[in-house]
């Protein structure tokens, strides 16, 4: 690189310096806007990693995938940052490639991908990569990340990598007696803060605790995350950059929390379904207390991602959401048993009225030639007797939104994070691909939609469309309370 074109990179924050020094296979940087995440990732794949591999292992040719949710976002943001730092590369525009060359025969190829390009997505399974960088990774589907995981460490081929040796310098052999190659794999994710329910929040071991709840579960092996503090990169930004953002978005405190303060939040990728939700008004500051009265449950029990919410009506016109249950893995029988067990603990001797998705009552054939339904399975296995709610989506949405509009109409326990994050933007009408202001007429089916549906099923039965209470429909048979000897779930 000619001397006059050398760019000095010496202003990384302490968090980003730790990122550069880390040798974990997978690393993530989370932080506010303008915090230097993309610049640091650019330096990793364009300079530090290729030169380290060349110096320490003799690997002089590497291949990298850089991905973002759309090619337009890629070209306007990620690619722009990379080109500003490494401007002397060879850009193959039509092929969406970039080549960088260093002295000593070191060269690297970067392939740019957008998730909105079907032809590119089809080619992912055939990639041979040294590593990848996913920018704004909370916008990229997890299944695409899993595909990329299988493609790294494949370029160059394993036999071109140095062989493993033990502490005495002796060659190490695998179980088949073949020499083991020390194949490096590199995965980098950079993003604005995810919500606490997002997989990224829990799969990394954070070097500093996120400014939110302690992540549930055990982080994945060799996954290390770096959560930036607010204002870390202020010295490289315009004066009062963050203060101006706070003033500009003072009426949008959730936006400020996420993009300025770096707190966990929800990325809004479409048009909100509910217009009357306000976190300050509708989320309780402390856990809600059951008043020992009747409990009302709503169930999304028709698909592979069951959900349930528990409500109480402590006084006329006021509904409280006490608990949410969601599972991305359980069948309806195990899920229902676990909900009942948890409810027995939280609400001992409680009485329940249960409404569910009408599709949960659809019969299907069994192995023995008979017929059953998810609603029947719930009753037979766990004593939960449900009545079908309304299948009119507009009526269900209006029931919830009109109740939100009432003063003190809805209060949600702060533990219901997926439901809350759905209200904030996870439950939405997605933007039509290739447009800037057009949205689908269908609500996006994602991890927020199931618990949102379960709330609609029960709320629609508790309130009228004019937001005044009518007579609550009580099923002829009510659910029983039972106990089960099953493993306690983690909801």
Using CA atoms, how far apart are residues 407 and 459, in angstroms rounded to an integer?
16
- The CATH code of the domain at 279-462 is 3.30.420.280
pLDDT at 167: 85
Using CA atoms, how far apart are residues 241 and 234, in angstroms rounded to an integer?
7
Q: How many CB atoms lie within 10 A of CB 367?
A: 5
The backbone region for 178, taken as left when phi is positive above 0, alpha when psi lies in -120 to 50, beta otherwise, is beta
Q: At what angle do helices 393-405 and 449-462 cross, to 10 degrees?
A: 80
* Statement: 3-235 belongs to CATH 3.50.50.60: no
pLDDT at 454: 98
Using CA atoms, how far apart are residues 185 and 152, in angstroms rounded to an integer?
6
- 21 CB-near residues (< 8 Å, 6+ apart): none
pLDDT at 464: 59
Task: Kindly list the averaged pLDDT for each block of 10 residues, start to end, along the chain of length 491.
Answer: 58 88 95 95 96 92 96 94 94 95 96 88 91 96 93 91 86 85 91 92 93 87 95 91 94 90 87 92 96 96 93 94 92 96 96 96 83 93 94 94 94 94 92 81 92 96 56 47 33 23
Using CA atoms, how far apart are residues 32 and 264, in angstroms rounded to an integer?
10
pLDDT at 6: 60
Tell me: cis bond preceding 156? Omega within 30 of 0 counts.
yes
pTM: 0.77
pLDDT at 10: 67
Using CA atoms, how far apart are residues 134 and 188, in angstroms rounded to an integer?
6
Q: How is the chain split into domains, by residue range?
A: 3-235, 239-265, 279-462
Dihedral angle computed from the Cα positions of residues 399, 405, 407 and 409, in that order, rounded to the nearest 10 degrees: 30
| Residue 272 to residues 136, 168, 269, 420, 444, Cα–Cα distance (Å) | 21, 62, 9, 13, 11
């Amino acid at each position: 690189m000619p001397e006059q074109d050398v760019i000095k990179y010496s202003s990384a924050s302490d968090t980003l310096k730790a990122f550069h020094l880390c040798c974990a296979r997978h690393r993530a940087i989370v932080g506010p806007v303008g915090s230097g995440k993309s610049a640091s990732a650019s330096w990793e794949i364009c300079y530090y990693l290729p030169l380290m591999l060349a110096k320490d292992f003799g690997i002089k040719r590497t291949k990298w995938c850089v991905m973002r949710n759309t090619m337009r976002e890629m070209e306007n943001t990620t690619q722009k940052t990379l080109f500003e730092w490494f401007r002397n590369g060879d850009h193959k525009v039509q092929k969406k490639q970039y080549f960088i060359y260093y002295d000593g025969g070191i060269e690297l190829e970067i392939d740019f991908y957008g998730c909105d390009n079907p032809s590119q997505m089809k080619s992912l399974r055939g990639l041979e990569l040294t590593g990848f960088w996913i920018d704004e990774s909370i916008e990229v589907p997890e299944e695409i990340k899993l595909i990329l995981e299988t493609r790294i460490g494949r370029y160059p081929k394993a036999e071109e990598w140095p062989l493993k040796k033990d502490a005495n310098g002796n060659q190490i052999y695998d179980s088949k007696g073949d020499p083991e190659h020390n194949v490096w794999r590199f995965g980098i994710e950079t993003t604005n803060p995810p919500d606490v329910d997002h997989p990224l929040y829990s799969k990394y071991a954070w070097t500093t605790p996120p400014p939110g709840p302690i992540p549930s579960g055990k982080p994945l092996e060799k996954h290390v995350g770096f959560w930036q503090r607010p204002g870390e990169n202020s010295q490289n930004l315009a004066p009062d950059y963050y203060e101006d953002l706070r003033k500009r978005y003072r009426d949008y405190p959730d936006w400020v929390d996420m993009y300025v303060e770096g707190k966990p939040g929800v990325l809004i990728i479409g048009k909100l379904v509910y217009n009357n939700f306000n976190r300050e008004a509708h989320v309780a500051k402390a856990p809600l207390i059951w008043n020992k009265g009747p409990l009302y449950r709503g169930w999304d029990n028709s698909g592979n991602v069951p959900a349930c919410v528990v409500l109480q009506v402590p006084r006329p016109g006021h509904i409280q959401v006490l608990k949410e249950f969601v599972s991305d893995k359980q069948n309806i029988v195990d899920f229902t048993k676990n909900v009942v067990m948890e409810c027995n603990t939280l609400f001992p001797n409680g009485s329940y009225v249960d409404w569910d998705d009408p599709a949960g009552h659809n019969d299907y054939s069994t192995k023995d030639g008979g017929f059953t339904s998810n609603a029947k399975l719930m009753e037979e296995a766990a004593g939960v007797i449900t009545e079908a709610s309304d299948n009119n989506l507009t009526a269900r949405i209006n029931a919830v939104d009109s109740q939100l509009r009432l003063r003190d109409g809805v209060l949600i326990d702060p533990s219901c994070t997926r439901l809350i994050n759905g209200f904030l933007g996870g439950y939405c009408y997605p933007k039509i691909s290739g447009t800037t202001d057009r949205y689908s007429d269908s609500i996006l089916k994602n991890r927020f939609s199931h618990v949102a549906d379960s709330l609609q099923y029960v709320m629609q039965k508790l309130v009228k469309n004019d937001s005044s209470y009518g007579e609550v429909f009580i099923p002829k048979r009510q659910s029983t309370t039972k106990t089960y000897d099953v493993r306690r779930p983690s909801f």
